[in-house]
Structure 1
């Protein structure tokens, strides 16, 4: 799966519509093979992005979790630490 798509569920603050749209766009680009579709395919491509975004929001709205929401800044710092350890850029 595409490594650039980040986990969006169960964060504080919650994922924004822009973040959900960006993840949906990445997903549709990946499965379609189009970075930018031709004019003839543009409507179908954009509709797919919109439908994936809607489905993602509906999925988040129906999820139930007992885990506390994760803090975006704390998770970003953990990711930076893993990257520094992996690539030796400490």
Structure 2
């Protein structure tokens, strides 16, 4: 999976539409192998992003969990610690 796609489920506050769309764009870029599609493919690329965005929102809205919601700041700090351990302090 693309490293830039982040977990969006079970956060408080819930994932925003912008976050869902950003994940969809990353997914479509990865699958298509193109970060900026040619003009001839732009319509197909945009349609795919919209479809993946809708599917992702449907999934997130339907998921159920008993776990307490995660805190974005705590998760960001954990990610920063993992990066520091992996790549060294920045």
Same fold (TM over 0.5): yes
Q: TM-score, normalised by structure 1?
A: 0.94
Counterpart for residue 89 of structure 1: 89
Match of 1:54 in 2: 54
Following TM superposition, by how much is the alpha carbon of 1:88 offset from its aligned partner in structure 2, in angstroms?
2.7
* TM-align CA RMSD: 1.1
Instruction: Spell out, residue by residue over 1:34-76, the C-alpha distance to the aligned partner (whole angstroms, 9 max, x if none).
Output: 1111111111110000000000000011111111100000010
Matches of 2:65 and 2:55, distance apart in 1? 19
Q: Unmatched 5+ residue regions in structure 2? A: none
Are 2:10 and 1:40 aligned? no
Q: Which has the higher strand share?
A: 1
Aligned residue in 1 for 2:80: 80
Q: How high is the TM-score relative to the length of structure 2?
A: 0.94
Map of 2:22 onto structure 1: 22
Structure 1 stretches lacking a partner, 5+ long:
none
